[in-house]
Amino acid sequence: MSTEDFEAKYKDYIFIDEVGRGNIAGEMVFTGVMVTGDVSFASDSKQLTKAQREDLVDKIKNNVQHCTVVTGAQEIDEKGISASIKKSLEVIIMYFGNDKRYLYDGNKTFGVDHPHLETLVKADAKVKGVGAASIIAKHLKDALMLVHDKQYPEYGFKDNSGYATKMHIEAIKKYGLTPIHRKSFQVKELECDSTNANVLF
């Protein structure tokens, strides 16, 4: 399908995307948007630089109504990632209403009981509204990781966004875990490290 076909098919949907699902540190951020103006300039946030997202985020917010749900590491550890995703989707649906149709970037609905919640793989690159949601979510995620980077500068959060990069793993081995690390996540590079119990997830 062409971009025009996707835009026509999902016209008047609420668009949902998330950032930070696979991080081992920091928050998971979900954003849902209802397009009220022009978002034809939006695209997949992963294909944009931080500076490009900075330039676009306010323009996007002026052309959508949006709802953002932030879930911290402790809640993800307590509830599990799937339950946390389900809660985020349900909050966004509650915000916009059960009478709307929803498009979520991915291939699973995580048990959400709603007849009009649909999924589309790589929707952030195919549908402008999902791209807009992804930019809002990623912009907030970047801002949160900058705060964490100032709290814990040894871990390089402003550069790795909480992902399990080599430098991040080495920092955990050296300094241990912080309160923003997801202790329930399994990290292969740390599973066999018995030198410091504090670094085992």
User: Are 140 and 173 within one domain?
Assistant: no
Rounded Cα distance, 1 and 57, in Å: 27
Dihedral class, residue 106 (left if φ above 0, else alpha if ψ from -120 to 50, else beta): left
User: Are 82 and 69 within one domain?
Assistant: yes
Rounded Cα distance, 21 and 78, in Å: 15
pLDDT tens for the chain, 201 residues: list them: 777 889 999 999 999 999 999 999 999 999 999 999 999 988 888 888 888 899 999 999 999 999 999 999 999 999 999 999 999 999 999 999 999 999 999 999 999 999 999 999 999 999 999 999 999 999 999 999 999 999 999 999 999 999 999 999 999 999 999 999 999 987 776 765 444 444 433
User: Are 52 and 101 within one domain?
Assistant: yes
Tokens 């410091």 belong to 196
If you count them, how many residues does the chain have?
201
User: Are 103 and 184 within one domain?
Assistant: no
User: Are 76 and 111 within one domain?
Assistant: yes
State which H helix or E strand residue 188 sits in.
helix 188-191
User: Are 98 and 181 within one domain?
Assistant: no
CATH number at residue 8: 3.30.420.10
Counting the structural domains of the chain, the total is 2
Q: What pLDDT, on a 0 to 100 scale, did the predictor assign at position 196?
A: 43
User: Are 79 and 171 within one domain?
Assistant: no
- Measured CA distances, 117 to 72, 103, 174 (Å): 24, 6, 44
Query: Which residues, other chains included, contact 33 with Cβ-Cβ below 8 Å and sequence gap of 6+?
Result: 14, 15, 16, 60, 64, 65, 66, 67, 129, 132, 133, 136
How many helices (H) and strands (E) would you count in the chain? 9, 5
Nearest CA among 24, 33, 21, 29 for reference residue 166? 24
User: How far does Cα 93 stand from its chain's mean position?
Assistant: 17
User: Are 63 and 132 within one domain?
Assistant: yes
Helix, strand, coil abundance in the chain, percent, nearest 5: 50, 15, 35
Q: What pLDDT, on a 0 to 100 scale, did the predictor assign at position 191?
A: 60
User: Are 132 and 178 within one domain?
Assistant: no
- Mind listing the pLDDT tens digit for each residue in 12-21? 999 999 999 9
Query: Range of 71's domain?
Result: 3-150
User: Are 159 and 145 within one domain?
Assistant: no
User: Are 61 and 139 within one domain?
Assistant: yes
Last residue of a domain, one of 125, 150, 175: 150
Tokens at residue 97, please? Answer: 């209403």
**Helix, coil or strand: residue 62:** coil
| Residue 197: CB atoms within 10 Å | 8
* Contact call for residues 107 and 20 (beta carbons, < 8 A): no
Q: What pLDDT, on a 0 to 100 scale, did the predictor assign at position 198?
A: 46
State which H helix or E strand residue 183 sits in.
none
Q: What pLDDT, on a 0 to 100 scale, did the predictor assign at position 186?
A: 77
User: Are 66 and 86 within one domain?
Assistant: yes
State which H helix or E strand residue 13 sits in.
none
